[in-house]
A = this chain, B = another copy of it.
Amino acid sequence: MNELANTLASMRPVATGTAEQAQKILDQKTKPVSSLGRLEELACKLCGIYRTTSPKPLVKAIVVMAADHGIADEGVSAYPQIVTAQMLANFVRGGAAINVLAGRADAKVVIADMGTKNPPSLPTVRSHRIGNGTANFRIQPAMTRLQAVSAIEAGIRLANELIDGGINVIGVGEMGIANTTSASAITAVMLDVPAELVTGAGTGIDDVRRQHKISVIEQARQLHRPDRRDPIDVLTKVGGFEIGGLAGVMLASAARGIPVVLDGFITTASALLADGLHSEARQYFIAAHQSTEPGHRLALEKLGLKPLLDLHLRLGEGTGAALALLLLDAALAVLFEMASFDEAGVSRGVACRHALFSASQRSMS
């Protein structure tokens, strides 16, 4: 428990003053004030996180954690459980969507087995196995409290190792057949809403199976009564090893002052747990995209995060995070490379003199 406690103890808020300085620098660039909209907001947020208006170029990793879920026995997924291990092998061979999209973003893909049921023998997969898949949480807790803490701490260690090795931005992704059921359960508990509101089609089930999925989640809630003020209890009772591991990655990144790019619904469930463990962690989170899972929107709202993209993705693996990394690079390039009005000898607009007007424009959507 020391690693988790130490990580939480070292968390500090982002430097909002530095973010404001970055906006002042952007306001001197040869463009109407705030006319690059959310790209400017993103540049400022990154400066606040890095505590400097001259952050280093991004060195990116996408951490993809995989695990199996006992709840798959309830027939909540469109895919057989063996697919978790098969997809791990696909990640290693470079044939999955995350490999392709991380490649576009120049991000290293780091694959971790947090506890698959059929562990493949794959040398480039990092083994942080907490167990042989979780238990079926309709019947018993998904894991022990010790396993829950171990999963989080494995994520903390992995993130610290990557950051020590020079990585300065981490995108998160996951793979685990049936893990939208766990994510829906966590989201329902942490937001204190009915499962109905936060349960979607996952990889593609029909409405009959979706109703079944909702019923399974509500049964588990009744049985275990997870305590939303205690995120480790929630993880223990209805979580997954990869979901816990990613919460650890997020906490360590935030504690080290590194931005975390969330992907879709499952990683956002991890973010809800991390947020419950430390209220300042969310300041380091960037929401890559709005997925089609209904719970994702509610979870992002709860975290106060606005997604950058809305491309109707529902794949996971970190694919949305990889696409968003392209925008992070673009945002910093604007800050670093654009000329100021003075440098370029360009006349200023009258809008620059109306600070109030600019502020109202900035909040326009």
Chain A residues in contact with chain B, CB under 8 A? 29-33, 35-39, 77-80, 82-83, 86-87, 89-90, 93, 95-97, 99-101, 103-104, 201, 203-206, 292, 308-315, 319, 323, 326-327, 329-330, 333-334, 337-339, 343-351, 354, 357-358, 361, 364-365
Contact = CB atoms under 8 A, between A and B. Distances in A.
Contact of A30 (B87, B338, B365): B87
Contacts of A314: 32, 35, 37
A291 to B, nearest CB: 9
A169 B78 CA distance: 38
Contacts of A82: 347
B311 A346 contact: no
A332 to B, nearest CB: 10
Contact of A90 (B93, B346, B365): B346
A313 B37 contact: yes
A100 B333 contact: yes
Nearest to A209: B350
Nearest to A326: B326
A364 B200 CA distance: 12
B35 A315 contact: yes
A347 B86 contact: yes
A364 B349 CA distance: 43
Q: What 8 pairs between A and B have smallest CB-CB spacing?
A: A95-B339, A37-B312, A204-B351, A78-B349, A35-B315, A79-B349, A32-B203, A78-B351
18 contacts: A30-B90, A30-B97, A31-B97, A39-B311, A39-B313, A39-B323, A79-B347, A79-B348, A82-B347, A87-B346, A89-B345, A95-B344, A97-B338, A100-B334, A101-B334, A204-B361, A206-B354, A312-B365
A326 B323 CA distance: 9
A29 B319 CA distance: 14
Contacts of A330: 100-101, 104, 323, 326
Contacts of A346: 83, 86-87, 90
B350 A78 contact: yes
A213 to B, nearest CB: 14
B100 A326 contact: no
A204 B350 CA distance: 8
A33 B204 contact: yes
A299 to B, nearest CB: 19
Given A315-B32, A330-B323, A339-B95, A361 B201 contact: yes
Contact of A36 (B35, B315, B333, B337): B315
A71 to B, nearest CB: 17
A150 to B, nearest CB: 29
Given A31-B315, A39-B313, 9 more contacts: A32-B79, A33-B204, A36-B313, A79-B349, A79-B350, A86-B344, A103-B333, A104-B330, A205-B351
